Amino acid sequence: MGALQSTRESKKLHSKQALARAAGRPYDPDRLVLFDTLFSHLRAQSLPEVAASAQTGITRENFAFFESYFSNYIEGTTFLVSEAEEIVLQGKIIPNRTEDSHDILGTFQAAMQAPWRDQPPRTADDFLHWLKSVNALVMRSRLDKNPGEWKNENHQAGATLFVTRELVQGTLREGFERIQALEDPLARALMTMFVVSEVHPFKDGNGRTARLAMNCILSAAGQLRIIVPTVYREDYLLPLKSLSNHADATPNVRAMVRIHSWTASFDYAQPRSKLYQTLQRCNAFEEDLKNYSLVFP
């Protein structure tokens, strides 16, 4: 007991979990089982490569705009596309919606600018710092959510209890080991997204942070980033829950490969108004998930 509390020598400890706790980096062992499930599945897969086609100029701007728009919409921060354009491209803050406006602006900036866009962390320490910095950027106006700080209380979504606050940093470090051990960029990206989503290290903004972390890996590898449109919300979230609750990685990987292919189906160099119309025809903005589903252009 003294060794576990770091008041005695740790040489009597042998298990990895006990040694991690004694070193001040305790982790959630149940999450590591899930991480290893996804890791094994990803390592056994032959994943498609989708080369980046929206790297510079208007293509990069258009892509980042819709990436940030949908990433916020899926979390309940909703705007008309015209309102989002005023916020992101004209710097206009919507009256009475200052916090929401800064959410989408921060997400857009992270999708456009280094280091958040394309400079992924190389070490576990860098990983923790990167996550805190991007969450601080996205949530900067929500001071009540402690932007960029690890959560100070435990929380859950429905029946899912996320990693307890004292185990956040240690569990992220363990997740990062698995991220780095994967060679395929898409595999690393999907592993990153799940690790952050599953740990839920912040009081708010975890989904947006997770998707930005995923896309940073892809951009650094010269692969196309992933957009998750409103109509794909349940196709995205339900496989994550299946992985969390039933240790089944297949639906998650299948869903993400499909939406990656869908994201690659558009011409991001065309005027934003025409791109918007094409996305509309593909049901991207639909909230009625019973009557609408994702359509490829």
> Measured in whole angstroms, how far is the alpha carbon of residue 19 from the centre of its chain?
30
The residue type at 32: L
> What's the predicted TM-score (pTM) here?
0.91
Domains and CATH numbers, the chain: 27-281 (1.10.3290.10)
Q: What is the pLDDT of residue 53?
A: 85
Below-50 pLDDT ranges, the chain = 4, 19
In this prediction, residue 160 carries a pLDDT of 74
Question: CA geometry: angle at 282 spanning 233 and 89, to 5°?
Answer: 80
Alpha-carbon distances, residue 141 vs 86, 90, 109, 114, 202 (angstroms): 18, 18, 14, 21, 15
Backbone φ/ψ region at 148: left (φ over 0), alpha (ψ -120 to 50), beta? left
- Reading phi first (left if > 0) and then psi (alpha if -120 to 50, else beta), residue 34 is in alpha
Average model confidence (pLDDT) across the chain: 93
Residue 111's pLDDT is: 98
